[in-house]
Amino acid sequence: MANPRATLRQSAPSAQAARLEAHWMPFTANRQFKAAPRLFAAAEGAYYTDMHGRKIFDGLSGLWCTGLGHGRKEIVEAVSRQIATLDYAPAFQFGHPLSFELANRIVAHMPAGLDHVMFSGGSGSDAVDTSLKIARAYWRVRGQGGKTRLIGRMQGYHGVNFGGISVGGMVANRKLFGQGIESDHLADLQPPAGSYWRGEPAERGVQLAESLLELIRLHDASSIAAVIVEPFSGSAGVIVPPRGYLARLREICTEHHILLIFDEVISGFGRCGAWTGAEAFGVTPDLMTFAKQSTNGTQPLSGVVVKKEIYDAFMNAGGQEYLLELPHGYTYSAHPVACAAGIATFDLLEREHVPERVRKLAPHFESAVHGLRGARHVMDIRNYGLAAGFTLEALPGEPARRPYEVAMAMLEKGFYVRYGGATIQLAPPFISTPAEIDRLVDALGETLNHTG
Ligand code: PXG
């Protein structure tokens, strides 16, 4: 049989477009993509190779998930070994040793108190919906079944399942899908254009967090199960909470008996220059989601880490011991091959001292990205750890066009960057060198200055 890659590469444009029709691509402009496909064929370290053999720098670590770089031998071998040894084990009522080992490895890097891991189906969206269901069920088993409302934040992104879009605050992700579940939203943390704050902003943290008090006044704490926030917003364009914000949210939640969930699908396991956003910002939630970096992007693995009080509430709720404590889980919860990838990933994260490495590289990254202040179209720049967002001035009536054009021009130059809404995002691999970061940011500056 012909090599399908070669066939795709060599086909005439119209035949190629027809071959691409069957796959309805996610979060993708299908019509535009299929007219001019961008296909990767291989990856190693911080670079992709595209179908034409060109090397492309991975400026977003895949989709925020491959911080250790691609093709890591230890992970490849662990996955190959596991798939040949135990390719699947039933996730319900039976198990395999790797999930217990991985749960311990994860807990070892959590802030004190977060010590039980419920794995979910593999996506961040599953982890979010799992966390929201645990929060509601927790109050129910505690005899407060009226606490069902879930509070998110404007501009928050919590995946695409019904719970996640209900608490999510990215307007475009909600409007097609009708009624969600009971939710409300905190005020967003978008700084005014022209702020150019570096890292954590200094101002208005407590005041912004106190928008939660208004929601509590409106709905009453007796109806609220949980507040869910990303420690810093990733998808919305790297929006960093001002100093004191998360700590004040924590205080208010504790005082009003509301669970606090950190969605750490992006911030978890290195990106912040700490093991977690909770550690970086010094605030401990009651539940924490994780996904992406947990297997370095090689296998779908996700989950929720919860405090002992939450786990114990279910274990001590009474009922026969042979009965389930929580009727929730996925066929692929803690899949053995994903767990093998997870353990190998934690070996590498630890051995390569990733949080420290990111902390050391972050100041260089920060000054590089803020060096683009004054570049054409740039209205704001934000950064945290190895993540940065640029807000670009919108073309009249077409806020999303310029970031798209910039990203396409970057690809021509050999750099993959993420574009969405009015922003460009960078999240280079943890293994990037300062020179690679400079090349990425210089290329972005040049591209901006040459984009109309
Ligand atoms: N929560 C957060 C905080 C996320 O960032 C999800 C949940 C959902 O994860 P899954 O695995 O279901 O996609 C995410 C995902 C971007 C980008 O460009 C961000 C995500 C995914 C794809 C692109 O910022 N975040």
What's residue 11's pLDDT? 54
Residue 24 counted as domain residue: no
- Examine the pLDDT at 351 and tell me if it is beyond 90: yes
274/410 same-domain check: no
Cα dihedral 397→399→404→405 (10° resolution): 50
Evaluate whether residue 18 is within a structural domain: no
Q: How far apart are CA 426 and CA 440, in angstroms?
A: 9
Clarify whether residues 262 and 121 are in a common domain.
yes
Q: Look up the CATH number of the domain holding residue 410.
A: 3.90.1150.10
How does pLDDT run across 15-57, given as a tens digit for each residue? Answer: 777 799 999 999 999 999 999 999 999 999 999 999 999 999 9
What was the pLDDT predicted at 18?
Answer: 79
Pocket test of ligand 1: the residue of 58, 170, 235, 263 to mutate, having most ligand atoms within 8 Å of its CB, is: 235
What is residue 12's predicted lDDT score, i.e. its pLDDT? Answer: 57
Residues 193 and 331 grouped into a single domain: yes
Looking at residue 328, what is its pLDDT? 98
Report whether pLDDT(306) > 60. yes
Domain endpoint, select from 317, 351, 385: 351
Q: For residue 1, what pLDDT is reported?
A: 34
293 CA distance to ligand 1 middle (Å): 11
Nearest ligand 1 atom to alpha carbon 267: 3
Tokens of 27: 């979060």
Domain assignment present for residue 174? The answer is yes
Q: Are residues 341 and 385 in the same domain?
A: no
- Residue nearest ligand 1's atom 22 by CA: 63
Report whether pLDDT(191) > 90. yes
Q: Give the chain's domain count.
A: 2
- Of the residues 351, 386, 401, which one is the last residue of a structural domain? 351
- The Cα 74–Cα 62 span in angstroms is 19
Question: What's the chain's average pLDDT?
Answer: 95
Confidence grade of residue 133 (pLDDT, cut at 50, 70, 90): very high
Q: Which two tokens stand for residue 301?
A: 């693995």
When pLDDT is cut at 50, 70 and 90, the band that residue 9 belongs to is low
Q: Please check whether residue 159 lies inside any domain of the structure.
A: yes
Query: In the chain, pLDDT over 70 holds for what percent of residues?
Result: 97
Query: In terms of residue numbers, what domain contains 298?
Result: 75-351
**Mean pLDDT, to the nearest integer, of 411-437?**
97
22 falls within a domain: no
Q: Two tokens at 183?
A: 């939710």
The pLDDT of residue 85 is above 50:
yes
Tell me the CA–centroid distance for residue 264 and ligand 1, in Å: 10
